[in-house]
Amino acid sequence: MWAGHSRKPLMITKKMLLRIMSYFQVMPAFLDFISVFGSQTDPRDLRYCGFREQIVLTDSPRSPPVLDLRRSGQQYQLCYNLKSVERIAPPDSEAIPWSIRQAAFHHQFDIREGTTLWVVVKGDLSLKKTIQETTGKNGRPEDREFNSPEECFKSSLTIHMVYSHWATSEWRSYIRWLEEKIEGVSKKNWAPLYNY
């Protein structure tokens, strides 16, 4: 799911979202993670971070098998959000050249069948392109092997790593920029004290 940018409504209707969430039995906690997208008068949700899990590794009446859909009922579900920093203006610009971006992730994995579901919500399609490159014909063969539940699990870990890499890619440059700005302001404010 995407929107063009994080302050626009997601390009999905409520009815479509309910069908997807119901059909795949997506854990309700995922709604907390996607609620941070859209227009806000006070963007406090930007600070919201979390990780939720739901694990059923034995036969359970709460998670009955649906063999026609390759669902054994034994699965784990994870949902979390990550933030990244993106340069949006040249370094010498007067405007703040950085913007904090976020994405919400839901991952569901059936441990017997090896079936997996990913629901990713981000303002644009950049993560989709990265995943397609990673798991496409030019990606590493071990990242796109799905012949057994073990191979499927291993491939799903690669996807988590791609998302983690996205989240860490520009923070160093952003922090360096913040330090330079703080140093510039503090030199101006403290300079009179040292000139007497």
Tell me how far apart the alpha carbons of residues 74 and 7 are, in angstroms, rounded to a whole number: 37
Confidence of residue 53 (pLDDT cuts 50, 70, 90): very high
**Nearest alpha carbon to residue 131 among 101, 106, 155, 100:** 155
Mean pLDDT of the chain: 84
pLDDT digits (tens, 9 = 90+) for 74-92: 999 999 999 999 888 876 7
| Helix, strand, coil percent content, the chain, rounded in steps of 5 | 40, 20, 40
- In this predicted structure, what is the pLDDT of residue 192? 60
Percent of the chain residues past pLDDT 70, beyond the cut: 87
Two tokens, residue 157: 């870990």
Q: How far is CA 136 from the centre of its chain?
A: 20
33-37, 90-94, 132-136, 191-195, range with the lowest pLDDT: 191-195
**Nearest alpha carbon to residue 116 among 136, 137, 144, 82:** 144
Query: How many residues are listed for the chain in this entry?
Result: 196
pLDDT digits (tens, 9 = 90+) for 150-162: 999 999 999 999 9
Residues 6+ apart with CB under 8 A from 101: 6, 83, 84, 85, 86, 122, 123
Asked if residues 156 and 36 have their Cβ atoms less than 8 Å apart, the reply is: no
- In this predicted structure, what is the pLDDT of residue 190? 66
pLDDT at residue 55 greater than cutoff 80: yes
For residues 126 and 43, the model is more confident at 126
Measured N-to-C along each axis, helices 126-135 and 149-168 cross at an angle, to the nearest 10 degrees, of 140
pLDDT at residue 43 greater than cutoff 60: no
Sheet holding 75-87, edge to edge: 51-56, 75-87, 98-110, 116-122
Confidence of residue 39 (pLDDT cuts 50, 70, 90): low
43-52, 107-116, 160-169, range with the lowest pLDDT: 43-52
- In this predicted structure, what is the pLDDT of residue 185? 81
